[in-house]
Amino acid sequence: MRAFHEHNETQKSAVMINELLAGKTMALISDAGTPLISDPGYVLVSEAKKSGVNVVPIPGPSAIISALSTSGVASDRFGFLGFYPANNQHDSKPFKPLPTLTKPPFFTNRPNAFWLVRKIYNLS
């Protein structure tokens, strides 16, 4: 097991791709969701594919898909807006375009970000 995050992704990707090309098998997993969806992994997957490494997804739980599938809103299209910027706790600018969207928007956030729930509730 190795630490793999936004601060070391570029340097570790090169090492990992060399190991993959040498025949090693590995999995990229995340403790917070699906790799590449608001998590590191883009550099590794992109470079692996360029190098001819076969990349296979392992389906798993997704908070966004779970929420969407039980929300009762149309689920044929939706907008994934990533993590709500933590430095915008007192700023409503990221919410301004939401009324003009034609599909349900989804932000993700950390479990202890109760301030975001209050902000959304106050905007409705």
The arithmetic mean of pLDDT across residues 51-76, rounded, is 77
Confirm whether 57 is domain-assigned: no
70 plus 113 within the same structural domain: yes
Buried b vs exposed e over 92-110: b needs ≥16 C-beta within 10 Å? eeeeeeeeeeeeeebbbbe
Quote the CA–CA distance of 39 and 108 in Å, as a whole number: 11
Task: Give yes or no: residues 31 and 73 share one domain.
Answer: no
Q: Taking a C-beta distance cutoff of 8 angstroms, is the pair 107, 84 a contact?
A: yes
> Do 32 and 67 belong together in one domain?
no
Same domain, 28 and 80: no
Q: Residue 90 — very low, low, confident or very high, per pLDDT cuts 50/70/90?
A: low
Bin 8: left if φ > 0, else alpha if -120 < ψ < 50, else beta.
Answer: alpha
Tell whether 28 and 69 lie within a shared domain.
Answer: no
**Considering only CA atoms, which of 78, 71, 14, 22 is closest in space to residue 46?**
14
- Residue 60: the pLDDT is 66
Q: How many domains does the chain have?
A: 2
Domain match, 81 and 105 both: yes
User: Do the beta carbons of residue 32 and residue 39 sit within 8 Å?
Assistant: yes
> Does 68 share its domain with 97?
yes
Rounded to an integer, what distance in angstroms lies between the CA atom of residue 25 and that of residue 93?
44
Domain of 37 in residue numbering reads as: 9-50
Predicted local distance difference test score (pLDDT) of residue 32: 64
The answer on 70 and 44 residing in a single domain is no
pLDDT higher than threshold 60 for residue 80: yes
Residue with tokens 């509730």, as numbered in its chain: 121
Q: At what angle do helices 9-21 and 42-50 cross, to 10 degrees?
A: 40
